[in-house]
Amino acid sequence: MELSSWRNRSPGDLSVLLPEITAGDPAQAVDAAKIAATAWAKTPLAERCERLQRAQRLIDATRERLAEQITIETGKPLTEARGELAAVIAKFDLTIADANDCLAEHPAPGGPHPALVRRRPRGPVAVIGPFNFPLHLGHGAIVAHLIAGNPVIFKPSPLAASVAGEYGAIMASAFPSGVFQLMQGGAPEGEVLCLDPRIRSVCFTGSVPVGRALAKALAEDYSKDLALELGGSNSVIVCADADLEKAAMAVAEGACLTAGQRCNATSRVIVEKPVARDFERLLLAALTAYRPGDPLLPATKLGPLINAAAAARYDKLLAETPGEWLLPGGFAPEIAGKRGYYVHPAVIHRAGNYFADSETFVPILSLQVAPDMDEAVRLQNATVFGLTASIFTRSRERFQQIGDQLTVGNLYANLPTTFSPSTLPFGGLRDSGNGRPGGQGFIRFTTNEQAVQWTGLDA
């Protein structure tokens, strides 16, 4: 394969050109991982934990630099980038705790012979990461597979290649050769890596079309594990008894964090008719806090979109989405003398279910009015996705009644759809994923289960 190279521009300041990145060779990376696999699988769990803790200390020592690099390369506001680094550092401890439970051998009494169930390393792993959480989302799968005894090849998004490169160098320094590798590249390199028969697990975070194509391509290799974290069209249901101010603030936050470029971002809000006017007024007021700003400033809540393609998608949605624009949105080509992909949040009313079957990935909200909760449930479920939903109500009974009817992997009461702590599983249903959630407990997908029984053995 012919290697390619590229340079990213900072989406918050297009005059900033980042260092050149060169794509790697998937075959060479898998060769190295395969060589390392046997020794790493035999490495005691305690030593694997010690190496992860070494990597944790190294990342903690450079957390502010990594956060700033995330902001410069992706446009994510600095406060969010710092939060991402905090999650990366905390993930080590959470994963080690999971490992000490999930990777332990368990006796299996009650059978005709002594028996136990144990977990066996699976072999080399490909982790394909996104740009919006360039470290955290890939990192969760990386540390889980490493502690399980699997060598990992991490291919980050080419849009976040520079910061991922620094993270990769830090991680690799804590492990034996070939155990952790970062391989740069785009879709061609990622495809070759994932389809290599020596790769025994694939963890992919990205779009539904790519995830579906990957699942089809891997269908014949049915022993290869595939974990898909895909898109979402996530809604907030606002009941008539809700705290409307709290709901409006949560919707604004869910729509605007990372400029709407999150799989769990809020793109739809469904309001019960008696409170629709009051909620609309409070929502528009809440959105005034999200003005486009320089992402390197700690006060900025709304940074730029990632690139020109995202800006074009935003522009197309403004031009073609049917309905009444309550907040018209628009571009802010220059902020504090810096040119970038800056946009304003937008809200459209009476858009039907226009956003239900597509992921907008920009700060545009559809506001729908439902005459009752039966219609609100119907509108929420009329989508191909099933990632997150939040219900705003003061009634536990109402929350449970509505929540039991929603087909989502993550259900919240009175919280933003983006509130997804690492202490819980995280994954989607339908087109949002395939039942291999990230977050806590992901480690159970990193090994093969083996049943062992015996008789006639010496003590």
Nearest in space to 4 (alpha carbons), one of 213, 135, 190, 206: 190
Tell me what percent of the residues of the chain surpass a pLDDT of 70: 99
User: What does each C-alpha distance from 66 to 6, 134, 262, 263, 338 come to in angstroms?
Assistant: 20, 11, 20, 22, 22
Q: What tens digit of pLDDT does each residue of 233-245 get?
A: 999 999 999 999 9
Query: In this predicted structure, what is the pLDDT of residue 172?
Result: 98
Mean pLDDT of 121-145: 98
Give me the amino acid identity at 5: S
The span from the CA of 437 to the CA of 440, in Å, is 8
Q: What tens digit of pLDDT does each residue of 285-315 get?
A: 999 999 999 999 999 999 999 999 999 999 9
The CATH 3.40.309.10 domain(s) of the chain lie at 234-420
Query: In this predicted structure, what is the pLDDT of residue 1?
Result: 41
**Residue 213, SS3?**
helix
Domain 234-420: assigned CATH number: 3.40.309.10
Average pLDDT of the chain, as a whole number: 96
Mean pLDDT of 257-267: 98
pTM passes above 0.85: yes
Q: How many CB atoms lie within 10 A of CB 284?
A: 16
Mean pLDDT of 19-23: 98
Query: In this predicted structure, what is the pLDDT of residue 9?
Result: 98
pLDDT at 2 exceeding the cut of 70: no
Here the tokens at position 400 are 């449970």
Query: In this predicted structure, what is the pLDDT of residue 439?
Result: 87
Catalytic (active-site) positions: 229, 263
Residues 6+ apart with CB under 8 A from 38: none
Here the tokens at position 449 are 């289960």
**Residue bearing the bigger pLDDT, 127 or 440:** 127
The CATH 3.40.605.10 domain(s) of the chain lie at 5-230+433-453
Contact 411, 392 (CB under 8 A): no
pLDDT at 451 exceeding the cut of 70: yes
User: How many CA atoms lie less than 13 Å away from 200 in the CB half-sphere?
Assistant: 17
Here the tokens at position 398 are 């109402």
Domain 5-230+433-453: assigned CATH number: 3.40.605.10
